[in-house]
Amino acid sequence: MDESDNRKKPSFLRNDYKCLREILLDHELAALGDAYVNFAYSLAISAKRGQPSGAKVSDHILAEALKKACLREHMPKRVS
């Protein structure tokens, strides 16, 4: 595959990341990951309550998860 073909793909389909940090800092991947996490969380809350919920995971909880997964060290000091 030509490198220019790879650049045309959405970031989550690219395979030219050089390190974990590049993957973690990809904003398109982050948005997709947030959607997956919030969907799973919302499903769990909905099942517990017995009714649909549009719940979202707080930034604080996501930050704690990064720390526990030892991924925080790969991120910049301030993450939006």
- Decide if pLDDT at 11 tops 70: no
Q: Which residue has the higher pLDDT, 79 or 73?
A: 73
69 is in which domain, residue-wise? Answer: 18-74
pTM of the complete model: 0.68
Does residue 3 sit within a domain? no
Does residue 34 sit within a domain? yes
Domain count, the chain: 1
- Widest CA span of the chain, in angstroms? 50
Q: What is the mean pLDDT of residues 28-38?
A: 89
- Decide if pLDDT at 2 tops 70: no
Number of neighbouring beta carbons within 10 Å of residue 59? 11
Q: Among 67, 11, 7, 57, which residue's Cα sits nearest to residue 34?
A: 57
Does residue 28 sit within a domain? yes
Does residue 79 sit within a domain? no
pLDDT band at 17; cut points 50, 70, 90: confident
